[in-house]
Amino acid sequence: MKNLVLLCGFHHRLLHHSDWEIEMGADRHPMFIPPRQVDWE
């Protein structure tokens, strides 16, 4: 299981019901990617 991230219930639901995304970086740390309306870059 190389792609798991431990999240509280609030943030778990936020990721599933919004445009936020998580990607695993090359260093195996999660990168949280906000939706465009939060961060245009």
pLDDT tens for each residue of 5-39: 999 999 999 888 999 999 999 998 999 998 888 87
| 3-class secondary structure, 16 | helix
Q: Is the pLDDT of residue 2 over 80?
A: no
* Residues in contact with 40: Cβ distance below 8 Å, sequence separation at least 6, in sequence order: none
Q: Which residue has the higher pLDDT, 1 or 35?
A: 35
User: What is the per-residue pLDDT for 3?
Assistant: 78
Q: What is the CA radius of gyration of the chain?
A: 11
* pLDDT for the residue numbered 17: 92
Q: What is the largest CA-CA distance in the chain?
A: 32
* pLDDT greater than 80 at residue 40: no
Question: The dihedral of CA 15, 12, 16, 18: what is its sign?
Answer: negative
What's the pLDDT at 37?
A: 83
Residue type, 27: D
